[in-house]
């Protein structure tokens, strides 16, 4: 999926949460897409990207909400605790 426009809200969330444009591009390229009834899409990574083990710390997951035109509405870093 190609990166479209980024809303001011999404850009603000990215800046506050330390999410880079490269991370957003990777999310759009590698993430799973869930289509919504209104044409919007939620793109997410259900499992972390391969990398070094985090020593039992929570693993951050990324997701983005895109509108029907493909513009990024919001980006979030979610932490899922293993347990």
H/E/C letters for each residue in 30-51?
A: HCEEEECCCCCEEEECCCCCCC
pLDDT in tens, 16-52: 988 889 888 888 888 889 898 888 998 887 665 555 5
Backbone dihedral region of 55: left (phi > 0), alpha (psi from -120 to 50 degrees) or beta? left
Q: Is the pLDDT of residue 54 over 70?
A: no
Output the pLDDT for position 18: 87
**Residue 16 burial (CB count, 10 A):** 9
pTM for the model stands at 0.73
Q: With DSSP H G I counted as helix, E B as strand and the rest as coil, what are the percentages for the chain, rounded to 5?
A: 25, 30, 45
* Tokens standing for residue 74: 């919001």
Given pLDDT bands bounded at 50, 70 and 90, which one contains residue 8?
very high
């Amino acid at each position: 999926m190609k990166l479209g426009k980024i809303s001011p809200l999404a850009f603000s969330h990215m800046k506050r949460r330390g999410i880079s444009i490269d991370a957003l591009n990777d999310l759009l390229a590698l993430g799973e897409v869930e289509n919504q009834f209104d044409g919007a899409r939620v793109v997410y990574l259900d499992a972390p990207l391969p990398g070094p083990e985090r020593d039992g710390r929570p693993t951050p997951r990324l997701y983005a909400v895109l509108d029907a035109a493909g513009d990024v509405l919001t980006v979030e870093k979610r932490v899922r605790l293993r347990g």
